[in-house]
Every structure is written in structure tokens, then in C-alpha cells.
Amino acid sequence: MRLLSPRLTVLYEMAFLVAVSVACAHFFNIHHPEGLTWERAPLRQSMLPAAAETLPGASAAQGIDTPEALQAFTEGGALFIDARFVEDFEEGHVPGAVNIPPGMFAEDAQRLIGAPDAGRRIIIYCSSITCHMSAELAESLDMLGYGNLFVYGEGFAGWLAAGGAVEVGSGDVPADSDDATGAAPESEAAGEGTR
């Protein structure tokens, strides 16, 4: 019987360890509630509005797709809320959007978007269809008494893909602003509201 060389033995041991590691990772991925898929199924446009309704906490809001979000932006009157982290928001967001990142206290969120108004549409988005933060924020806002909530499931990635307008930097809209574009009230524009 011929013995294996030390180099060949090391290679076999490494291959065995890699195989065991892949098998363990696959096993845990399959049994994890949010495990990753091995294959990416192509997204169909018909799936996207319904996708927001399948996200955790999305019962508080209706799904909205890119054409509807673009139309709401063009018509004005809708408040866009970006549920992504501050860094992502500052790199680019829907013009006039308010940033309510994960972990923001309810009082701060209410200060940014004002009191609940049944007549105002609130469109909440995050990064993409795989992001759950917009649905979670919609549930939180629903519990605070806000209505007319819409989750834009395609998120900022869908907005960019459709050629939607983009604003860069910090663009939070104060609750007492004149419109959804972030214009300051006349008292602040005249210098009365500053110290």
C-alpha cells in the first residue's frame, strides 16, 4: 500500500474541511427563517406591488409600485419618507423626502412629519424590494395614528431605475414647512425663526 505525500494529505484535509463547512452552511441556511436563496428568480413587475404586503408589519400600509410613486411625486401633496440609514439617505433620496432611520424615537419622527393628517398620503420606501425597514416603519406610524400609508416596495433602487429625480445631502422636511419640497416657512425665510 502506497502512502500519500504530506502535501497531498494537506490538500485532501483542506478539501474535506471546505466540504464540511459548505454542508453546515447550507443546512443552517435552509432552516433559518430568513435564509438566503441559492438562485435568484427574476422579478416580474406584477410581483412588486404585492411584495410589500408580504413584508413583516406591512398590514398597516398598501403597496405602491414605481409608476404610482412617480405619479404621486409629480402631482405633489404626498410625503415621501426614507426609512434607510442616515448615510444612505445623504448619498441620495427622493427630493423633499424625510429621513426616519431605524431606531429614531417616535417623538423625533412626529416632529419631522407633523401630526397625523388623514388627507395626506405618506409613501415610505427603503433601499429595494429586499429591504424590510419601510414596512416596519409603516407599522410603527400606524400605531402612532398615521393613516393613508403606502409602502413603496421597489424602494430607492426602483426609483433610480425608473429615472426618478434624486436629491443628495440632508434634506429633512420640517413639520411646519409650507410644502413637500422642504421650503422653509416665511418666518424662517425672513430670519425671524433663527437665533
- Can you give the pLDDT at residue 40? 56
**Identity of the amino acid at 99:** N
Domain 47-182 has CATH 3.60.15.10: no
- Can you give the pLDDT at residue 21? 94
Rounded CA gap, 137 and 189, in Å?
Answer: 31
Rounded CA gap, 9 and 64, in Å?
Answer: 58
- Can you give the pLDDT at residue 71? 94
Show me where the domains of the chain are located.
Answer: 1-33, 47-182
Under 8 Å between Cβ of 96 and 182: yes
Q: Give me the mean pLDDT over the 111-137 stretch.
A: 88
Q: Which of 52-56, 104-108, 123-127 has the lowest mean pLDDT?
A: 52-56
Averaged pLDDT score across all residues of the chain: 77
Neighbours of 91 (CB within 10 A): 13
What pLDDT, in 10s, does the model give residues 69-114? 999 999 998 999 999 999 999 999 999 999 999 888 778 888 888 8
Q: Give me the mean pLDDT over the 155-184 stretch.
A: 68
Flag whether pLDDT at 56 surpasses 90: no
Rounded CA gap, 93 and 168, in Å?
Answer: 6
Flag whether pLDDT at 48 surpasses 70: no
What pLDDT, in 10s, does the model give residues 10-32? 888 999 999 999 999 888 888 87
Q: Counting every residue, how long is the chain?
A: 195
Flag whether pLDDT at 154 surpasses 50: yes
Q: Give me the mean pLDDT over the 153-180 stretch.
A: 74
- Can you give the pLDDT at residue 2? 65
Flag whether pLDDT at 131 surpasses 70: yes
- Can you give the pLDDT at residue 49? 44
- Burial category of 93 from C-beta neighbours within 10 Å (exposed 0-12, middle 13-18, buried 19 and up): buried
- Can you give the pLDDT at residue 44? 44
Flag whether pLDDT at 66 surpasses 90: yes
Alpha helices in the chain (DSSP H): 6-31, 48-53, 66-75, 86-91, 106-113, 133-143, 155-161, 186-189
